[in-house]
Amino acid sequence: MERTLAIIKPDAVGRNLIGKILERIESEGFRIAAMKLIKLGKAQAEGFYAVHRERPFFGELTDFMTGGPCVVMILEAENAISKWRDVMGATDPAKAAPGTLRNEFGATLQNNCTHGSDAPETAAFETAYFFSALEVVS
């Protein structure tokens, strides 16, 4: 069983899409091992996205992620990382396959409704960034 971090981003939370996205997560066979509604501060967003610090979009990204509440989750499934990325679709909603979350609910490259870890090492960092061991239900 593999774990990945999933985020329902502020744009999707603001459009009342939490329930629809959670329904999709469960219907795809994921088990939610941890979940909470949070509002990131600037320092928290910058720490989470530190890998992108030198990229030109870093400031816009961290501003966006601090603009409203988001839902952070740990999802479990066989091949959870690749499976969640398939369910989300391409980062750019305009290029995301029909039926994916980003195709259905994403508005722009930045406002693409969801985040997911891209590798096992990233998933380990990201899940530990938001959850302590006591918050994860095995």
Mind telling me the catalytic residues?
115
Laid out side by side, the sheet with 114-116 consists of 31-38, 70-77, 2-8, 114-116
CA gap 110, 37 in Å, rounded: 20
